[in-house]
Amino acid sequence: MDLARNIGVRIVRGQGCSCPQLTSGVMAAAAFVHEIDIAVARPRLHEFLCDLENFTALHPLIESITEIAPTDELPNARRYRVVDRVPVGPWRMKAVYTAALGPVSPHEVHGHAWQKPGIRLLTAYELRDTNTGVHLTERVSVHAPWVLRRFVTGQAKASHLATMKKIKVLLEQPTTPV
């Protein structure tokens, strides 16, 4: 928690997701929210968030990402096959799933991830302009069988927080002229 404060990430506890797409579904969902201020132009952050391949080196669980064909269900979203290495005690379990990221508006990006057995993460990124850059709010809803929900939510919450901190550091670095 102190590390999150040092880099400017605010963890919001006990807030549900306001986006109806993130709260619908037959399985009960867990939810979490992360917020961070990033000194970058909103179009740059929006573009970054819409390409999951940008997350390969930033997300602590991702081993590889491969873009796959789009579907009619999410026509504006880019789809990916993602391979994670999830820590389970002293071992790392390979997890393969489908993910999609798509722009909803210049101020919002939605993410979807599907994995067996019955796991689905729905993410909404809201980008609000500030005097110094962008205030990024990430709302995540985790749908999973009850026996896996706590584990999946804990892994998602920790890895998303680490990823947001790394995005901030990466995008706030001064660019070197070519």
- pLDDT, residue 54, reads 92
- pLDDT, residue 5, reads 45
- pLDDT, residue 104, reads 93
The SS3 call for residue 111 is strand
User: Please, what sign has the CA dihedral across residues 71, 74, 75, 80?
Assistant: negative
- pLDDT, residue 177, reads 53
- pLDDT, residue 18, reads 40
91-62-146 Cα angle (round to 5)? 65
**Region of poorest pLDDT, from 21-25, 39-43, 118-122, 143-147:** 21-25
d(CA 29, CA 74): 21
Of 2 and 102, the structure prediction assigns the larger pLDDT to 102
Report which DSSP code applies to 174. P
Can you give 30-75 as a three-state secondary structure string?
Answer: EEEEEEEEECCCHHHHHHHHCCHHHHCCCCCCEEEEEEECCCCCCC
- What angle, rounded to 10 degrees, do the helices at 42-49 and 146-172 form? 140
- pLDDT, residue 76, reads 82
Of 18 and 76, the structure prediction assigns the larger pLDDT to 76
- pLDDT, residue 174, reads 81
| Element (DSSP H or E) covering residue 164 | helix 146-172
Domains of the chain: 2-172 (3.30.530.20)
Compute the average pLDDT of residues 112-123: 93
Is-above-0.85 flag for pTM?
no
* 35 confidence band (pLDDT: 50, 70, 90): very high
- pLDDT, residue 74, reads 83
For residue 168, what are its two tokens? 């901030």
- pLDDT, residue 27, reads 53
- pLDDT, residue 178, reads 43
How do residues 58-81 score in pLDDT, each as one tens digit? 999 999 999 999 888 888 889 999
Q: Burial level of 49, CB count in 10 A (0-12/13-18/19+)?
A: buried
